[in-house]
Chain A
Amino acid sequence: MNFGIDRLAAAVTIVLLAAPNTSATETLRERMLRSYALDFGLVPAEETWRDVDPVLAAIGKELFESTLLSSNVDTACASCHLDRFGSADGLPVAIGVEGRSFGAERVRLGGDPQPRNTLPLWGRGGKGFDTLFWDGRVEKLQSGEIQSQYGAAAPDDDPLTVAAHLPPLQLGEMVFDRDSRFAQYEQESTSAAAAYADTIVSRLRERSDLIAQLATRSEQAETDIDYTDVAAALASFIARNFRLGTSRFHAFVFHAAPLTSEELRGGVLFYGKGQCALCHSGPYFSDLDFHTIAFPQFGFGANGFGVDYGRYNVTQNPDDLFAFRTPPLINVTRTAPYSHSGSVAKLRDAIVYHFDPLAFFSNDGSTADDREQLARRIGLWARDYPVAATLSEREIDDLVAFLGTLETESLEKVADPQ
């Protein structure tokens, strides 16, 4: 019995000796994390909100959930922006027209696969969130001018309203490109897009009261309502419903709420050794600029045959090859899979690709073209990051825990499209 007590006492002594005395350093780290978060642009969530007309947003919600915006009335915005997947669709690449059901079932049932991963909507329409889509095809320049595929004839001066024009007018995404009735619109011109937009408004007028609601709200005649009014209502809903809420990290920084030790270590890694905040900065955890991470390409790609040149497709500047807009990280733990083509299933692996792009590389089945492109992407990545911050398994766990503190909720639930 005495022998047992002796052993217990010895074990307790060893544990006490070995236990780290971290109370002082924890305080330093908490202070540093708060200070760095502010220095790197975090602001209280409500400071990112714009004034949005709630009535217009309510009409926008109905439009968002309506399949009447698609040419063959089978696809709504809400078909690919689902609450259950953090306002994305849970798929590597979106399934457009002819898509049915949700998640993996949507892939199994067929439909038109799109070249890129569906982006979640958190923070869109917020102050300063002026660069939209993976390649920044809609962007508000410092001059105030909107750069988009509309050229000098942008339909609105709000980038989100301009962006809300695009998916319903995009072949394959919400326009059924094998329907002969729409063949006349199948050309890359703003006049064709405008003509098709008019058909959407006509359909909405005939088959719903949404145009009448918009007319009442804006005190216009129904015949004066055009597609830009529809897009503005959609933008109002997105900006209001998916505005940033006070996440646990916001509460830590601005209200002295606690983080777990794992989250705290992850936060210090995020702003420090991991160098994550060099690009994932600001209120949305994105510099809204363009960078190359050597993620594998999945699917056909925007440039075809497994190639996606990213930002280059907008600027035609070779320096922009393979660059994509830094994805914001609000609710990132809910929006798998990751990368512009959704080729990375797990958040942990997405983190690994940032510092060890060859970690999952397999030469099996790769072609010389695949390898050439990979080498090019790695070269561009290495130019940005002269010393990659290699992270241990535990550090990756800590980072994932920290990213979990960036979760926030939408204002209202989005109904599945009918």
Chain B
Amino acid sequence: MSSVYKRINVLLFLCGLTLGLMIAWLGQPVFQWGVQSLFRKQFYELTASCDAAMRTHLIAKNRLDLEPSETAVRAVRSAELGLLACQDYDLLRKRLIRIGLDENALSELTLSFAEARASDLQLVVETHEFRY
């Protein structure tokens, strides 16, 4: 009788071990997916926001170079404050890393945003092409 119990105990131990390994193996991607889903909308918004802020800043500086004026100076100042959107974007990335998202998962979010915004293949090509 005791040998039967021993066998059952070993079997239960092995089952538990297998289950634990499966959870450990599956849990990490599921966790990453869950965090991605939770923060996807905010990540997309801040990515777009930072992208627009950088373009606005560049164009405002162009205008100041070409047509210096008080309005052009104010536009650059305004665009500089607008770059806080990129600070927010970076802070979110750091928060996500702190929570447990790895660089691969963050890159996946960025790529999926590029694909969501691309009306054709052009943006995907620009993301992946070699540039010299």
Contact = CB atoms under 8 A, between A and B. Distances in A.
Contacts of A278: 71, 74-75, 78
Interface in B42-86: 45, 48-49, 52-53, 55-56, 59, 63, 71, 74-75, 77-85
A274 B52 CA distance: 11
B77 A36 contact: yes
B48 A268 contact: no
Contacts of B99: 14, 17-18
B-side interface mostly: helix
B91 interface: yes
A389 B75 CA distance: 12
A272 B74 contact: no
A32 interface: yes
Nearest to B85: A273
Contacts of A268: 81, 84
Interface residues of A, number: 25
A25 interface: yes
A272 B87 contact: no
Contact of B52 (A14, A281, A389, A394): A389
A392 interface: yes
Contacts of A412: none
Nearest to A40: B74
Interface string B16-58: 0000000000000000000000000000010011001101100
B81 A281 contact: no
A152 to B, nearest CB: 31
B98 A272 contact: no
A25 B56 CA distance: 22
Interface in A11-47: 14, 17-18, 20, 25, 29, 32, 36, 39-40
B98 A17 contact: yes
B78 A277 contact: yes
B32 to A, nearest CB: 14
Interface residues of B, number: 26
Contacts of A5: none
Nearest to A20: B95
A364 B41 CA distance: 33
A273 B82 contact: yes
Contacts of A273: 49, 52-53, 56, 81-82, 84-85
Contacts of B45: 392, 394
A390 interface: yes
A25 B84 CA distance: 10
A14 B39 CA distance: 14
B48 to A, nearest CB: 7
A275 B77 contact: no
Contacts of A386: 59, 63
Find the residue from B81, B82, B84, B99 having the highest chain A CB count within 10 A: B81
A277 B79 CA distance: 11
A18 B55 contact: no
Given A29-B84, A273-B85, A275-B56, A281 B98 contact: no
Contact of B78 (A18, A20, A272): A272
Contacts of B91: 20, 25
Interface in A282-337: none
Interface in A384-418: 386-387, 389-390, 392, 394
A24 B53 CA distance: 22
A32 B75 contact: no
A389 B77 contact: no
Contacts of A20: 91, 95
A271 interface: yes
26 contacts: A14-B99, A17-B98, A20-B91, A20-B95, A25-B87, A36-B77, A36-B81, A271-B78, A272-B79, A272-B81, A272-B82, A272-B83, A272-B84, A273-B49, A273-B52, A273-B56, A273-B82, A275-B75, A277-B74, A278-B74, A278-B78, A386-B59, A387-B52, A387-B55, A389-B52, A389-B56
The 4 closest A-B pairs by CB, nearest first: A272-B81, A273-B82, A272-B82, A387-B56
Given A14-B99, A273-B56, A275-B56, 8 more contacts: A17-B98, A40-B74, A268-B81, A272-B81, A272-B83, A273-B53, A278-B71, A278-B78
